[in-house]
Structure 1
Amino acid sequence: MNLRSRNKVSPDFSMSSMTDIVFLLLVFFLLTSPSITPQALDLILPSASGRSENKQQASVSITKDGAFFVDAVEVEEERLESMIIKTMEGQEKPTIILRADGDIALNKAVKVMDIANRNKINIILAVKPE
């Protein structure tokens, strides 16, 4: 009597599904790696309910029409950096509070952030409390 089953298990192993998973993981890690992201400015962004503990600070305000104010004194855009440096002289940990209107162009705020970064000044973005 010959009792053999018709369904035989194949000893071959298909690698196609394994290679698909490996390539998906490779693409995922390449896209999320920190080497792809550009360097950003280090900003101290307070939460809306928090408070800043810096004692020595200056305020840079940008109005809706694009005018710059350093400690309530209007400053032309060309003289902004020199005014900020003059205001920050002699401070141990210089810090700027950036108060920007919500409707201004982003490049105005980035200009102030770039000035602070070049001169090694901390910057805090002011937010409206909740």
Structure 2
Amino acid sequence: MNIRSRLRTHPEMHTGALNDILFILLLFFLIVSTLANPNVIKVSNPKAKSDTKAKQTVVVTVDKEQRLFLGQKQVPIQSLEAELQAYLSKETDKPSVVINGDSTSHLGTAIKVMQIIKKLGATPVMAVDNAGQ
């Protein structure tokens, strides 16, 4: 009589390649998620009920300390027109400039920026959140 216990192998799946694929996918989604939001300056936008989308050429941000940012670069309001002209001269059709203003910023600064944008022949668009009121 054979009393020895038989050596049984447990079926295992090799997961080395699966780990590599999951790691690559994780890196891909991390990189894509950081590129998805072009606005790096954090501001709390005012709320709106309707959805307005425009093809944005340039983003001008006004933060709560009334500092102006053209894209990610901080610019004084005196040189905003010259800086915007350099961006808008590259556009072929009528460009639009998105004004990303903090809800606690003064309205006067945003209006000055809008006047500069209209003077340069572009369309000013105010960015708002769609979350409602």
TM-score surpassing 0.5? yes
Report the counterpart of residue 69 of structure 2 in structure 1.
69
Root-mean-square deviation (Å)? 1.5
Deviations 1:34-56 (A, max 9, x none): xxxxxxxxxxxxx64525242x5
TM-score if structure 2 supplies the norm length? Answer: 0.57
Q: Determine the C-alpha separation between the residues in 1 that align with 2:111 and 2:90.
A: 25
Question: Is the Cα contact below 8 Å between 2:99 and 2:127 reproduced in 1?
Answer: yes
Cα 1:53/1:63, change in 2 over 3 Å: closer
Which contiguous aligned blocks of 4+ residues in structure 1 show a shift greater than 6 angstroms? none
Task: For structure 1, list consecutive stretches of 5 or more residues without a partner in the other structure.
Answer: 1-46
SS of aligned partner of 1:59: strand
Mapping 1:1-130, distance limit 5 Å: 48-54=49-55, 57-91=57-91, 92-130=93-131
Larger radius of gyration: 1
- What amino acid does structure 2 have at the position aligned with 1:72? Q
Question: Is the Cα contact below 8 Å between 2:64 and 2:104 reproduced in 1?
Answer: yes
How far 1:63 sits from its partner (Å)?
Answer: 0.6
How far 1:106 sits from its partner (Å)?
Answer: 1.1
Deviations 1:3-31 (A, max 9, x none): xxxxxxxxxxxxxxxxxxxxxxxxxxxxx
SS of aligned partner of 2:129: coil
Identity percentage of aligned residues: 23
How many residues are treated as equivalent by the alignment?
A: 83
SS of aligned partner of 1:104: coil
